[in-house]
Amino acid sequence: MEAFEIIGGTRLKGNVDISGSKNAALPILAAAILCEGDTVLHNIPNLDDIQSMLTLLQRLGVKHERLGGGSIRLRVEDELNCHAEYELVSKMRASICTLGPLLAKRKRAQVSMPGGCAIGYRPVDLHITGLTALGAESDLVNGDMMLKAKRLKGTEVFLGGAFGSSVTATANIVMAATLAEGRTIIESAACEPEISDLADFLTACGAQITGHGTPRITIEGVKTLTGAEHTVIADRIEAGTFMIAAAITNGELTLNRARLEHLIAVVDRLRRIGVIIERSEKGIAVSSSRRLDPVEITTQPFPGFPTDLQAQATALLCLADGNSVVTDKIFPDRFLHIPELNRMGANLRREGNTVIIQGVKRLIGAPVMASDLRASAALILAGLIAKGTTRMSRTYHIDRGYERIEEKLSAIGADIRRTDI
Of 21 and 288, the one with the shorter C-beta distance to ligand EPZ is 21
Please give the torsion angle defined by the CA atoms of residues 115, 120, 169 and 44, in that order, rounded to the nearest 10 degrees: -80
Pairing of strands 415-420, 367-369: unpaired
Residues in contact with ligand EPZ, counted by CB under 6 A, come to a total of 26
Q: Contact between 213 and ligand EPZ (CB under 6 A)?
A: no
- Per-residue x/- track, 140-179, ligand EPZ (CB under 6 A): ---------------------xxx--xxxx----------
Taking the least distance from each CB to ligand EPZ, the nearer of 92 and 412 is: 92
312 Cβ contact list (under 8 Å, min separation 6): 240, 241, 244, 374, 377, 378, 381
CA-closest candidate to residue 172, choices 205, 206, 219, 204 = 219
Supply the minimum distance, in Å, between the C-beta of residue 37 and ligand EPZ. 26
Examine residue 373 and tell whether it contacts ligand EPZ (CB under 6 A).
yes
Q: How many CB atoms lie within 10 A of CB 191?
A: 21
State the burial class of residue 227 (Cβ atoms within 10 Å of its Cβ: 0-12, 13-18, 19+).
buried
Question: Of 77-85, 121-129, 208-216, 387-395, which part binds ligand EPZ (CB under 6 A)?
Answer: 121-129
| Min dist. Cβ of residue 209 to ligand EPZ (A) | 18
Of the residues 64, 83, 106, 127, which one makes contact with ligand EPZ according to CB under 6 A? 127
CB nearer to ligand EPZ: pick between 163 and 201: 163
| Active-site residue set | 117
For 343-352, the CB contacts below 8 A with 24+ separation are 343/368, 344/368, 344/382, 344/383, 344/386, 344/390, 345/386, 346/315, 346/318, 346/382, 347/318, 348/314, 348/318
The residues in 69-108 that bind ligand EPZ, with binding defined as CB under 6 A, are 93-94
Radius of gyration of the chain (CA): 21
Site string for ligand EPZ, 327-356 (x = CB under 6 A): ---xx-------------------------
Least Å distance between CB 49 and ligand EPZ? 8
Among 23, 39, 178, 314, binds ligand EPZ (CB under 6 A): 23
Q: What are phi and psi of 245, to 5 degrees?
A: -65, -40
Beta bridge partners of 354: 327, 351
Q: In the 3-class helix/strand/coil scheme, how is 228-281 assigned residue by residue?
A: CEEECCECHHHHHHHHHHHHHCCCEEEEECCCHHHCHHHHHHHHHHCCEEEEEC
Alpha helices (H) along 141-212: 167-177, 193-204
Q: Does 285 bind ligand EPZ (CB under 6 A)?
A: no
Q: Does 401 bind ligand EPZ (CB under 6 A)?
A: yes
Binding track, positions 374-393, relative to ligand EPZ; x by CB under 6 A:
x-------------------
Name the minimum Å distance from CB 347 to ligand EPZ.
Answer: 26
Does residue 307 touch ligand EPZ according to CB under 6 A?
Answer: yes
Per CB under 6 A, residues contacting ligand EPZ are 23, 26, 93-94, 121-127, 161-163, 166-169, 194, 307-308, 330-331, 373-374, 401
